[in-house]
Amino acid sequence: MTDAFDERYLSEADTRFSSLAGQLPLTTVEGLAREAVRSLSRNALVPDDPDHPAPRNIEALARALIATDPSESTDMMRHLQQRGVTLDVLYFTYLAGAAQRLGAMWDADQVNFMQVTIGTGRIYAIVRRLRRALPTPPALHTETVTIAAVSGEDHALGVEMAVEYFREKGWNARLLVGLDHDAILRDLADQPCEVLGLSASATDAALESLSRLVVAARLAHPHMTVMVGGGAAQAPGDLLTLLAPDHVFTSVTDALAVLGRGAQ
């Protein structure tokens, strides 16, 4: 758990997010930052417990996340952990609340694009460290996998075959095709799953859609395993490394093998 608040890790995250910004058009990077803020903000809880953070504490964390020195945010998170703040409160109250505050500050022109980009990159990095330690919620669907073609990808044959193959191997597999970004996220909220497989081609438009969806899914559903396949598995540069899905697969059999349910 303590590793989540490592200054070196957050400094590396700053570098990774800057690299991502260098690989994608500015409008795409801005879209990713807004998606990250929006997705995490939807998780924000305002508990009735008076011991939970006051607005000034959320404001302080938001400011720390965009500070020049990453140790400001790591020191604050480490202090919260040492006080005994639970993982779910760190995630759903502090980080989600800070993301919500950053979004409001951005809309009011109180912070600029680069500051928000740094802040969302650090939040994303912390979430990646926290997610495996978060308490697992009760599963509403046993071993459910959702396979979705990203927005704008309407070629259904490959994903349909993937869904059928998963079903043959004992998975409760669902198919999402022809939905836009928001519709996919609504479906994931309404129909929880343990595994999300995203299919995208290697075109610029598809990779942009994929990037937004990976970020949104990771932040909105921290327990979910996110996998990427299709032509995007061969995406040029370091895009997938920077987005950090749980797995990248080139075939359905590879995906099943990674999940421990390969051909038997």
CA-closest candidate to residue 195, choices 234, 145, 232, 143: 145
Judgement on whether residues 24 and 112 belong to the same structural domain of the protein: yes
Residue 1 has pLDDT above 60, yes or no: no
Cα distance between residue 125 and residue 50, in whole Å: 29
Judgement on whether residues 237 and 171 belong to the same structural domain of the protein: yes
CATH assignment of the domain containing 230: 3.40.50.280
Judgement on whether residues 120 and 190 belong to the same structural domain of the protein: no
Q: pLDDT at position 138, please? A: 47
Judgement on whether residues 169 and 118 belong to the same structural domain of the protein: no
Q: pLDDT at position 170, please? A: 84
- The count of domains in the chain is 2
Report yes or no on 264 lying in a domain: no
Single-letter residue type at 150: V
Judgement on whether residues 165 and 253 belong to the same structural domain of the protein: yes
CA-closest candidate to residue 198, choices 224, 169, 167: 224
Q: pTM (2 decimals)?
A: 0.74
Judgement on whether residues 150 and 67 belong to the same structural domain of the protein: no
**Position 32 confidence tier, pLDDT thresholds 50, 70, 90:** confident
Q: pLDDT at position 263, please? A: 44
**Which of 130, 163, 191 is a domain's end point?**
130
Judgement on whether residues 155 and 80 belong to the same structural domain of the protein: no
Q: pLDDT at position 171, please? A: 87
Residue 12 has pLDDT above 60, yes or no: yes
Residue 193 has pLDDT above 80, yes or no: yes
Report yes or no on 84 lying in a domain: yes
**Which of 130, 162, 197 is a domain's end point?**
130
Report yes or no on 251 lying in a domain: yes
**Position 31 confidence tier, pLDDT thresholds 50, 70, 90:** confident
Report yes or no on 51 lying in a domain: yes
Judgement on whether residues 35 and 83 belong to the same structural domain of the protein: yes
Report yes or no on 139 lying in a domain: no
Residue 21 has pLDDT above 50, yes or no: yes
Q: pLDDT at position 27, please? A: 73
Report yes or no on 152 lying in a domain: yes
Single-letter residue type at 148: A
Judgement on whether residues 105 and 170 belong to the same structural domain of the protein: no
pLDDT by residue (tens digit) across 44-71?
Answer: 665 555 456 678 888 999 999 999 888 8
Give the domain range for residue 25: 2-130
Rounded to an integer, the average pLDDT of 202-228 is 88
Judgement on whether residues 153 and 253 belong to the same structural domain of the protein: yes
pLDDT by residue (tens digit) across 97-151?
Answer: 888 889 889 989 999 888 888 888 888 878 777 766 655 544 444 578 999 999 8
**Cβ–Cβ under 8 Å, residues 202 and 250:** no
Dihedral angle of Cα 178, 193, 215, 155, to the nearest 10 degrees = -20
Dihedral angle of Cα 88, 89, 94, 100, to the nearest 10 degrees = 70
**Position 261 confidence tier, pLDDT thresholds 50, 70, 90:** low
**Which of 130, 154, 187 is a domain's end point?**
130
Helix (H) or strand (E) holding 227: strand 225-229
Q: pLDDT at position 67, please? A: 92
Judgement on whether residues 126 and 155 belong to the same structural domain of the protein: no
- Give the residues across from 144 on adjacent strands: 172
Judgement on whether residues 109 and 205 belong to the same structural domain of the protein: no
Top-ranked range on mean pLDDT: pick from 83-92, 153-162, 226-235, 252-261? 226-235
Rounded to an integer, the average pLDDT of 220-248 is 84
Report yes or no on 135 lying in a domain: no
Residue 183 has pLDDT above 60, yes or no: yes
